[in-house]
Structure 1
Amino acid sequence: MPASPDPGESTAEELLTRVARGDREAFSEVYDALSGPVLGLVRSVVRDPAQSEEVMQDVMVEVWRTAARFRPERGSARSWVLTLAHRRAVDRVRSAQAAAEREQKAALLARTPAFDEVSEQVEGRLERVQVRRCLRMLTELQREAVTLAYYRGLTYREVAGLLSLPLGTVKTRLRDGLIRLRDCLGVGT
């Protein structure tokens, strides 16, 4: 003998059909019948009572708005609503986990220094030593022109005046000196 359908299920299905047409009384009955099971399911996933109630309310609002999507041939009204509830609960848990991970990353970034101060100091010293070594490889005239222009901040014209040389000669010495420095430092290779 085939099992007879549960009268509560067919009633819920009929109620959802009425809810899809905007029947508020039918929604009130659906709410009374299914909010308890929805809350129980959501609480088993979310664990937090306050958030569980919030998710349950969201699910019931979704039932009101999307009742027209319910298809009785695919399953019972209770199963449809509980599927919505489970999906919404899982979404809430994932959202909470993602937020916690973002906060944790932000906290780690706040504690991590932007750079390693000691290694920056060591690298700076090594670079200065290398620049000094490369400056010693320039001719005296090139080193003098580079030092005046780049360490003292003089213009090419001021360097030419100080060294009593034509501007073109100073530009040539600076260009040649910078090329030799670049090659010595390995810049651009």
Structure 2
Amino acid sequence: MAQASEHARKRLKSLMKRLGAGDRAAFPEVYEATKVKLFGICLRILRDRSEAEDALQDVYATLLKSADRYDPERASPISWLATLARNRAIDRARKGGVRANAAPIGEADMLPDGVPLADEQLIDGERDARVHGCIETLSENQRRPIRDAFFGGRTYDEIARAENVPPGTMRSRIRRGLMRLRDCMEDGE
């Protein structure tokens, strides 16, 4: 299972490089590999299915225009795309609030543009590296399901079936793994 996850990461990185080089044929595969996770991010932020779907469409439209900006040396493909999804969803949420309370046109230059600052991007990259480092400290029977659930977009029940264990057992493994992951992340701060 770990080999499958590693293969999926390498495949996505390869697809992102192709897309960045202008190969539009890679897009449908990138979409299929990432749509569940990115939609989940948008939905968690926006809390509205229709808005999340629109934000996800914005994410993929942006990806088609700016895939060449992806740098595999700075972030994993899914981290880069997750950041893009998060930013698009936050932008959409802000726009929803701004419409009702629009600022006068003269104040437009004081409104934030929504693009993360360089230091925020650096912090996100460091946090991403710390998360992956902490995941490596987990036991294999916790690490694999957490990766499948949070990076692979699989449900706990799907993972339980694949691992041939009861769903309750899988939930417990993942919960214990997430608690250890949280402890590791807090130790690193």
- TM-score by structure 2 length? 0.50
- AA aligned to 1:20 is G
- Unaligned 5+ runs, structure 1: 104-189
Counterpart residue number, 1:17: 17
Q: Which runs of 4+ in 1 moved over 6 A?
A: none
Q: Distance in 2 between matches of 1:9 and 1:39?
A: 18
Matches within 5 A, 1:88-99: 88-99=88-99
- Aligned match of 1:61: 61
Per-residue deviation, 1:87: 0.5
Cross-structure match for 1:87? 87
Aligned partner of 1:6 in structure 2 is 6
TM-score computed with the length of structure 1 as normaliser? 0.50
Is 2:38 aligned against 1:38? yes
Q: Contact 1:39 / 1:52 at 8 angstroms: preserved in 2?
A: yes
CA contact (8 A) 1:41 1:82 kept: yes
For the pair shown, which has the larger CA radius of gyration, 1 or 2?
A: 1
2: distance between equivalents of 1:48 and 1:34?
Answer: 19
Letter in 1 for 2:24: R
Secondary structure of the residue aligned to 2:91 is helix
Q: In 2, distance between residues paired with 1:29 and 1:80?
A: 16
Aligned to 2:27: 27
1:70-107 deviation line (CA, Å, top 9, x unaligned): 0111110000001000001011111111112249xxxx
The answer (yes or no) to whether the contact 1:35–1:60 under 8 Å persists in 2 is no
Of structures 1 and 2, the one scoring higher in RCO (CA 8 A, sep 6+) is 2
Between the two proteins, the alignment pairs up a number of residues equal to: 102
How far the C-alpha of 1:22 sits from its partner, in A, is 2.1
- Cα deviation per residue 1:27-75 (whole Å; 9 max; x = unaligned)? 1100111111111100100111111101101101111111111011111
